[in-house]
Amino acid sequence: MKSANLIMMSAAMMLASCGNQDAGKTEQAIIEKSNIKIEGKRMTPEALWAMGRIGGLSVSPDGKQVAYTVAYYSIEENKSNREVFVMNVDGTDNKQITHTPFSENEVVWIKGGSKLAFLSSESGSSQLWEMNPDGTARKQLTNYDGDIEGFAFSPDEKKLLFISQVKTVKSTADKYPDLPKATGIIVNDLMYKHWDEWVTTAPHPFVADFDGTGIRNITDIMEGELYESPMKPFGGIEQLAWNNTSDKVAYTSRKKTGMAYAVSTNSDIYIYDLNTQKTVNITEGMMGYDTNPQYSPDGNSIAWLSMERDGYEADQNRLFIMNLESGEKRFVSKAFDSNVDAFCWSKDAQTIYFIGVWHAKTQIYTLNVADATIKPITEGTHDYASVALCGDKLIAKRHSMSIADEIYTVDITEGAATQITFENQHIYDQLEMARVEERWIKTTDGKQMLTWVVYPPQFDPNKKYPTLLYCQGGPQSPVSQFWSYRWNMQIMAANDYILVMPNRRGLPGFGLEWNEAISGDYGGQCMKDYLSAIDEVSKESFVDKDRLGCVGASFGGFSVYWLAGHHDKRFKAFIAHDGIFNTEMQYLETEEMWFANWDMGGAYWEKNNPVAQRTFANSPHKFVDKWDTPILCIHGEKDYRILASQGMAAFNAAVLRGVPAELLIYPDENHWVLKPQNGVLWQRTFFEWLDRWLK
């Protein structure tokens, strides 16, 4: 269930033609920055989807310029486009250098900073292109037979590492050529579906010689093995790395298929030697996820992220360093009792800069490689989403519940951050934003729990407001200062709701004990924590106790379904998105069985397994007889993590019980809602339901 916050883009549409397009493409639509006008200074769905959304960034070799991408969405056209921008590192001379309908991606500096390389679908498939830093002299560099999904040039730029899909499963037509129109899929092992796709291919890393104009002598460095590298569904080029001498590639892979893949998180870091064509596993015996290798600038070490336990996808993400000469491995982030989410080396290889969450805020930290001491660099109420070197500074994306991703430079010594992009300032200038407050609330077992409280714009403490309890998904994803284009706290507050957002048991950033308290105990302390938060905030005179709602997605959707049978009439409305309703069916329906085995404690037929029996005894569907409160169920039929049958069953149960209910079902969406018009429909349905029962 653990999900990344996928961020999609929105804006107005205009038609244009591109000088280097084929004649047949001159009428394609180009989606540009919106000039939306907002009435009433309140956030709306249209304002959210009008925001430009900053993607990846790359610093020029001289540290003086930054290239980055911004994606825009059109509600009218129900599609997106991504463009490239270049600016000085102080934010000046910021220019959009592409104006095409081809969604340029993964822009990086090459050839000493004289060119930018990027991916584009201009030729019909995703290929590698280059252009000048002003957008001129656009030229295709590859003509590979397949889509290139990610790439990295070797340090000497004589070779290209790239990712492309390879076929892993024979189709029905392969087996029966006389049935070319048959759509049936023959399955004989697990992992036949994953997140939102039927699994027929795997991403593979390839290396090719590069002469500055094209590639040749392509080698599959996994030597035909039908395993993933990078790993689906979220892995990209960050899971692979060149060494300093351009003759070795480190890559991440879980070399398993079928049921073995479905029950294990044990991935490893492999190093492929281009000279000897030999592969070495450097994390053999490290049993959890090992990902994201990075060689040190001096070439003496390699660092990566590592989880300890097989099958536990939310285990602590630790930073490891290995001395390449001696083979010694060190757990260097031990002093940080939370996850390392991303990192980069200093130029002298003596320091690593990383981001990690602590007390519901994601900051940048510095780690001394020699003695493994860790110190925070930044502070404040926000989340950093990336970190990279930029001359004598750091450069990073940052967001909060009040502002979407923007790019900042960070002083390494003082931690002072300077905002250098203002992509959505024209929208923020028209809005009156909600106030976000940090509270610590005592739980039923005497612990202190950080809870965010968000107040409506123009909040009046003399009024009484309907109030929503927000239940987080994951289940082990922090309720930090995240920005979402669907679960957006500013738009909820703009509709005159107070938000209560507890960092309940089972979230990182409060120590390992707190984080791990949820596994095998879905109906236990974490649910008591939810109720502690809403009960405490409800003591305020401005909270209307007779107008409380409860909302959430994924594990948050499970929480809503569970609380619907245990809330003692606290709530007057529920909304569950992509939630688990029947844990017994979820155990058999989901694809990543390691998650179900770890978090549920095992299979429901294991009668002598007390953890599993406790989990399944607390399945929300077993308490439907106590449902008495209106509920909206939302689900996507392409969600293969939690099947849409869960949402349909919950809706059907409510209707059969005589409980007012509504079902919003998306045939074309997965665990998220990614299409603009579907996103607007989600927001409108969400607030119509709440307004109906709470106002």
The helix (run of H) or strand (run of E) holding residue 96 is strand 95-96
Look at residue 39 in the predicted model and tell me its pLDDT: 87
The mean pLDDT of the chain is 94
Residue holding tokens 């630790």?
318
Look at residue 145 in the predicted model and tell me its pLDDT: 95
Look at residue 163 in the predicted model and tell me its pLDDT: 98
- 89 vs 408: CA distance, rounded Å: 9
**Chain segment 215-235, per-residue pLDDT in tens:** 999 999 998 899 999 999 999
Mean of the pLDDT values across residues 386-401?
97
Mean of the pLDDT values across residues 449-478?
97
Q: Which residues are catalytic?
A: 554, 639, 671
Read off the amino acid at residue 41. Answer: K
Contact 324, 300 (CB under 8 A): yes
- 237 vs 150: CA distance, rounded Å: 6
Residue holding tokens 């392409």?
638
Peptide bond into 203 cis (omega under 30): no
Helix (H) and strand (E) counts for the chain? 13, 41
Query: Does residue 189 carry a pLDDT above 50?
Result: yes
- Identify the band that residue 28 occupies on the pLDDT scale cut at 50, 70 and 90: low
Q: What count of residues does the chain have?
A: 695
Which string of DSSP letters, residue by residue, matches 549-573?
Answer: EEEEETHHHHHHHHHTTTSTT--SE
Contact 579, 552 (CB under 8 A): yes
Lowest average pLDDT, out of 15-19, 38-42, 203-207, 484-488, goes to 15-19
- DSSP, res 486: S
**Chain segment 54-106, per-residue pLDDT in tens:** 999 999 999 999 999 999 999 999 999 999 999 999 999 999 999 999 999 99
Query: Does residue 21 carry a pLDDT above 90?
Result: no
Look at residue 29 in the predicted model and tell me its pLDDT: 74
Query: Does residue 5 carry a pLDDT above 90?
Result: no
**Chain segment 114-168, per-residue pLDDT in tens:** 999 999 999 999 999 999 999 999 999 999 999 999 999 999 999 999 999 999 9
87 phi, psi to nearest 5 deg: -150, 165
Look at residue 224 in the predicted model and tell me its pLDDT: 83
- DSSP, res 688: H
DSSP, collapsed to helix, strand or coil, labels residue 158 as coil
- 571 vs 659: CA distance, rounded Å: 14
Nearest to 497 by CA among 270, 686, 346, 276: 686
Query: Does residue 26 carry a pLDDT above 50?
Result: no
Mean of the pLDDT values across residues 448-456?
98
Sequence-ordered list of residues with C-beta below 8 angstroms from that of 587, at least 6 positions apart, any chain: 596, 600, 603, 604, 616
Beta bridge partners of 280: 271
Residue holding tokens 């609380």?
563
Contact 208, 234 (CB under 8 A): no
- Identify the band that residue 628 occupies on the pLDDT scale cut at 50, 70 and 90: very high
For the packed helices 593-600 and 610-617, what is the interaxial angle rounded to 10 degrees? 100
Residue holding tokens 């059969």?
656
End-to-end CA distance of the chain: 32
Mean of the pLDDT values across residues 443-457?
98
Query: Does residue 16 carry a pLDDT above 70?
Result: no
- 88 vs 95: CA distance, rounded Å: 10
Beta bridge partners of 292: none
Query: Does residue 11 carry a pLDDT above 80?
Result: no
**Chain segment 488-525, per-residue pLDDT in tens:** 999 999 999 999 999 999 999 999 999 999 999 999 99
Beta bridge partners of 96: 85
- Identify the band that residue 8 occupies on the pLDDT scale cut at 50, 70 and 90: very low
Half-sphere exposure of residue 275: CA atoms within 13 angstroms, side-chain side: 5
- Identify the band that residue 4 occupies on the pLDDT scale cut at 50, 70 and 90: very low
Half-sphere exposure of residue 244: CA atoms within 13 angstroms, side-chain side: 11
DSSP, collapsed to helix, strand or coil, labels residue 98 as coil
- Identify the band that residue 529 occupies on the pLDDT scale cut at 50, 70 and 90: very high
Of the chain, the percentage scoring pLDDT greater than 70 comes to 96
- Identify the band that residue 27 occupies on the pLDDT scale cut at 50, 70 and 90: very low
- In angstroms, what is the C-alpha Rg of the chain? 25
Contact 82, 55 (CB under 8 A): yes
Higher pLDDT, 14 or 640: 640
- Identify the band that residue 9 occupies on the pLDDT scale cut at 50, 70 and 90: very low
The helix (run of H) or strand (run of E) holding residue 48 is helix 45-49
> Quick one: tokens of 624?
């439907």
Sequence-ordered list of residues with C-beta below 8 angstroms from that of 623, at least 6 positions apart, any chain: 562, 564, 565, 566
- DSSP, res 434: P
Nearest 10 degrees: Cα torsion 324, 329, 332, 336: 140
**Ramachandran assignment for 653, one of left (phi > 0), alpha (psi -120 to 50 degrees), beta (any other):** alpha
Query: Does residue 10 carry a pLDDT above 90?
Result: no
24 phi, psi to nearest 5 deg: -75, -5
Look at residue 19 in the predicted model and tell me its pLDDT: 33
Contact 409, 366 (CB under 8 A): no
- 201 vs 168: CA distance, rounded Å: 5
- 70 vs 96: CA distance, rounded Å: 9
Strands 435-442, 417-419: pairing is unpaired
- Identify the band that residue 397 occupies on the pLDDT scale cut at 50, 70 and 90: very high
Look at residue 640 in the predicted model and tell me its pLDDT: 97
Mean of the pLDDT values across residues 635-654?
98
Of the chain, the percentage scoring pLDDT greater than 90 comes to 94
